[in-house]
A and B are shown apart, each in its own frame.
Chain A
Amino acid sequence: MSSETSQRTTERGRIRVSGFDVDRVESREPLSSWEPDLQSEAGRGRLEYAWMRFKRNRLALFGATTIAFMVLLAVFSRPIQLPSSFPVLAGQTVQPFSLAPADPAAQDVITGYREPTLENLLAWPSAGLYLFGADWAGRDILSRVMYGGRWSLSIGFIAVAMALLVGVPLGSVAGYYGGKVDELIMRLVDLLYAFPFIVLAIAVIAVLGRGYWEMILALVVVGWLPYARIIRGEILSVKENEYVTAAKALGSRDRSIITRHILPNAMAPVIVQATLSIGTTVLVAAALGFIGLGLSPASAEWGVMLNVEQDAIARGRWWAGLFPGLAIFVFVMAINLVGDGVRDAFDPQGDQTDTDTGGLR
């Protein structure tokens, strides 16, 4: 423990109780609902240190800026209107900006493909349209790539968040209680790990059918595994610490021990994994879109855009696929840089030049 209070003991040779303020324990009102909260402060301190180190990592900051830029482009590409069934502000426009030069669905089937030209690029922004060319239906590819980020990115972020919500509790329970629960959960994890990421996702889609939420669910079914494994391992090593024994001795309930004392100290590798997983998830989601098991062919999701144009690309219409493909590549690259930065920030002693697989299997 880094806090100075941890050095104090009331008695020598006894269990060295660390992580909470001995004076406050002794002087507290016996019936007050005081709970030791220094542990969470220590956890925050660690986060602050990590943030300080992260801020100095230029590559990671570059990655974070890129992601922020892509998210902003996706959000402000077209106005957002809430559906009329929405409980508040039904049918209102909550986001009036429209950065995309054209409606991503606006077609010009008669002209069809348009190659991006240098003159067009130099005339920007006055010409605006067809900077990246147009696809088979004459739709402006730049607008579609900007707008398509809404699908690709939201799938990545939502699926990872949901996978965390499944994996962290299950892993915590397995690690903390051990025994039969642990066996059950971890054997299930082993079992699902026998299938490569995308194969399991395909199997889930075979059962559920295609669609936005179906795809997210498929990615969650596969995505929670690493978190359960990591958090269980961390908890096994953290739960033997004296401050956990102390919290138990003070009569804390299991739930508060897990959420207030164990999890904050076991979260670092989970955060690292989650960051890298966003990239993997976006990659797999795009791959599912590409093999035709993702969103509908009309949507501007990046993988789907490549799927629709695959023959055209192989036969020389490079622009139809290059730009959505580059969007995926740049995003995954940026998130991997951030993930590496996060890992170095939490674990400055680690081998900093080693690249992680990011959960790719």
Chain B
Amino acid sequence: METKEKNFISAVIYVHNAETRIGTFLKTVLHVLEENFEKAEIICVNDHSEDRSVDVIRDVSKEACHTSISVLNMSYFHGLETAMNAGVDLSIGDFVLEFDGTVLDFAPEEIMKIYRKSLEGYDIVSASPQGRQRLTSRLFYLLFQRCSGSFYQQMDTESFRILSRRVINRVSSMNQSVPYRKAVYASCGLKTWNLRYRVQDVQKAADRKERRYRGRLAVDSLILFTEAGYGFSMLMTGMMMLTALFMLGYSLVIYLTQKPVEGWTTTILFLSFAFFGLFAVLTIIVKYLQILVNLVFKRKRYSFESIEKLTK
């Protein structure tokens, strides 16, 4: 007889209007967990579904032998990130599997693959589909990496991941709230690994609400986690300052050589100076906001991966 894993595992599944997919998805996850783990729990985060998703979950949960299945119902549509945070907060396992959606485009074995990988000492192991990303996703990750420095080099489209309890504790002590998990996980300073899986079959999953949410999330994450906003405003200020300086010289030259209409020179001088000042003030405000954001979301100034004991 095969011996089962002694570690307690939790699976958190994001469910939003997924009545057609959640049944098979939950069954698959349940089957994998029951087969491989002595004790497990599954938390379905129901992000205010308006269809029969919860009924389907109830039906499937009758098949569970020793796995505890619970549904965490959100009071209104929160979107993937906040809803999954709630689910992870509720979970009690030593390891937590996060399923960001209910599209079963991976083979069931992949779940155990990332679990075994994490046992090798990776606190976060994520699974991404092989092959081409959507153009918008590619653009987002490119921009994200460009504007954020070395922190987030590994980021990619991910379908599910496994987290150790260490990461969850670390993240909850580092951040007051977690606006974008991937970025926070990547920056928590513990070892991560990404596995790619062969895509089984592609279904379209996101409804309109979710697509709108993703768009918003992309913009928010770029602003929050990268220097994109600050960089842009610095660039604009720099350009406007140069323009203002140029205008200063230009108006002086015109004044001396061409006798312009009365008042033109003073107007231009004033405008150049005013724009220069305005952009300088805006840059300060942007910088100020950025510091505030850092204070709110990143409470700790440092984070470490481990403490190695070298002497006895």
Are the chains A and B members of one assembly? no
